[in-house]
Amino acid sequence: MTDKKKIEALISDDDFTTLLSDLHRFCPFEALGAVNVELRHSNYLAYLMNPNRPHGYGDQILRSILQSILSNIDDVNGISALDVHLMDLNAVDIRREWRNIDILVVEPKDKTIFCFELKVGSKQGENQLSRYKKIVEDEWRGWTHVFIFLRPTNEEPNTDGWLPVGFDQLIDGLESVPKPIGNEDQSQLMFNSYTKMLRRNFEMDEKLVVIAGSLWKKHEEALKFLSDNQPDELSDLFKLIIDKETDFAQKVSVLGDVNVTLIPDRNSGTKYVRFAIKELEDLEGASSGCKWTDSGRILLLELQRRKRSSAYYIRIVLVLGRGDLRDVRAKWFDAMKPYMTRKNAKISPEYTTMLSENLLSISFEDDSSKEENYEKIEKCLHLFLKESNLTKMVQSLREKIDISD
């Protein structure tokens, strides 16, 4: 079958039509360029959390968000998901930017404060969290305080007493909100649009992942052809990394208590650059991958290119791929799971993302040369390997997976 016929078969597939209809939905937040604007997220979340605002959900959104955040832990300062379920949240006071704090939820009946600091596209300032914590504790002495550091990355709060919460828990909370009875009005359409935007931009939509997997099974050659030939400004930069991949891998590798030494994988392209981890090569099941890469590796670190509006991003993703040995693959997942951002994550039969983070954004409108951007990627990836949970995952795998014969 020719490449043309393969592409024609792809676009006539019902799964392909479903995928297009789900992805090509109008979203006011994306249309306004608000996806990565922290202020817009804080404003809208504060609106949704306020049971007295005319969104039609009462206190259900606030309750669902708090329960989702607290669902994976016993309690925070004596407050559990069950306590939130029993609270009367209709009388809460929602404060936006009070003393520069993003969102403050004041629950007077149970004398409880939920303090939210949100970070999207920015990092916490020096002493910022400790300053906010002291302000709240001084203002509401004798109350119970829950400090929530909400972000889409795996950045850890630099002050004790703050609970790190990923966008996955926020999305789970929003998606668990009961739908109001009756026709969907404008505010509910906006709420659903916002939730889907978060899922689309910050977390995988499991339904679309299943559809994508089905399409790859049926049209792998057509999709690979399209993927390998997708042009954009990052293509030349990725080609440069591939041309220098051995030298690149040596420079970004980390030597320390736990070494993370990258080695090039044979399956890279203009959309992604893949690396294996040398310290894992001799483990049982390391080469049990199938129908993924020619190298047969089960675990790979990928540099992926992304584009949102006019901004280009490079995302780093640790992927547990397809494998013939189901039990061995499950052991690899279990060894790494304690260090995943999503504590309730489950292994997928196809591909499972173990770790992911936006590495850096790249603008092609400034005067930076291709070589300068190449060096930026080197520095950011080296820092990621050094500071992320990847080293802990490598150490756990070395401890829990047998050496292959």
**142 φ/ψ sector (left φ>0, alpha ψ -120 to 50, else beta):** left
* C-alpha–C-alpha distance, residues 276 and 295, integer Å: 10
- Contact call for residues 354 and 394 (beta carbons, < 8 A): no
- Contact call for residues 315 and 347 (beta carbons, < 8 A): no
393 class by beta-carbon count within 10 Å (0-12 exposed, 13-18 middle, 19+ buried): buried
**How much is the average pLDDT of 172-179?**
88
* C-alpha–C-alpha distance, residues 91 and 255, integer Å: 54
* C-alpha–C-alpha distance, residues 3 and 376, integer Å: 37
**Structure confidence by residue, pLDDT tens digits, 184-234:** 577 777 888 888 888 877 765 556 667 667 766 777 776 676 666 666 667
- Contact call for residues 322 and 287 (beta carbons, < 8 A): no
Q: For position 184, what pLDDT does the model report? A: 55
- Contact call for residues 40 and 28 (beta carbons, < 8 A): no
Partners of 262 in beta bridges: 277
* C-alpha–C-alpha distance, residues 41 and 103, integer Å: 11
| Segment among 40-44, 162-166, 389-393 with least mean pLDDT | 40-44
- SS3 labels along the chain: CCHHHHHHHHHCCHHHHHHHHHHCCCCHHHHCCCCCCHHHHHHHHHHHHCCCCCCCCCCHHHHHHHHHHHCCCCCECCECHHHHHHCCCCCCEEEEEECCEEEEEEECCCCEEEEEEECCCCCCCCCHHHHHHHHHHHHCCCCEEEEEEEECCCCCCCCCCEEEEEHHHHHHHHHCCCCCCCCCCHHHHHHHHHHHHHHHHHCCCHHHHHHHHHHHHHHHHHHHHHHHCCCCCHHHHHHHHHHCHHHHHHHHCECCCCCECEEECCCCCCCEEEEEEHHHCCECCCCCECCCCCCCCCEEEEEEEEEECCEEEEEEEEEECCECCHHHHHHHHHHHHHHCCCCCCCCCCCCEEEEEEEEEEECCCCCCCHHHHHHHHHHHHHHHHHHCCHHHHHHHHHHHCCECC
Cα dist from 347 to 168, 319, 320, 322, whole Å: 16, 11, 9, 11
Tell me which amino acid residue 216 is. Answer: W
* C-alpha–C-alpha distance, residues 154 and 342, integer Å: 10
For the CA atoms of the chain, what is the radius of gyration?
Answer: 23
Report the range out of 4-13, 181-190, 263-272 with the highest average pLDDT: 263-272
Report the range out of 16-25, 152-161, 367-376 with the highest average pLDDT: 152-161
Q: Residues 6 or more apart from 128 whose CB is under 8 A from it?
A: 117
Instruction: Name the pairing type of β-strands 162-166 and 262-264.
Output: unpaired
**Structure confidence by residue, pLDDT tens digits, 353-392:** 999 888 888 876 666 678 888 898 999 999 998 888 999 9
Tell me which amino acid residue 226 is. Answer: L
**Structure confidence by residue, pLDDT tens digits, 267-279:** 777 678 999 999 9
pLDDT band at 262 (very low <50, low <70, confident <90, very high): very high
**Structure confidence by residue, pLDDT tens digits, 292-316:** 788 889 999 999 887 765 567 888 9
Q: Which of 268, 362, 354, 267 is nearest to 307 (CA)?
A: 362
Model pTM score? 0.49
Q: Residues 6 or more apart from 5 whose CB is under 8 A from it?
A: none
Partners of 273 in beta bridges: 303
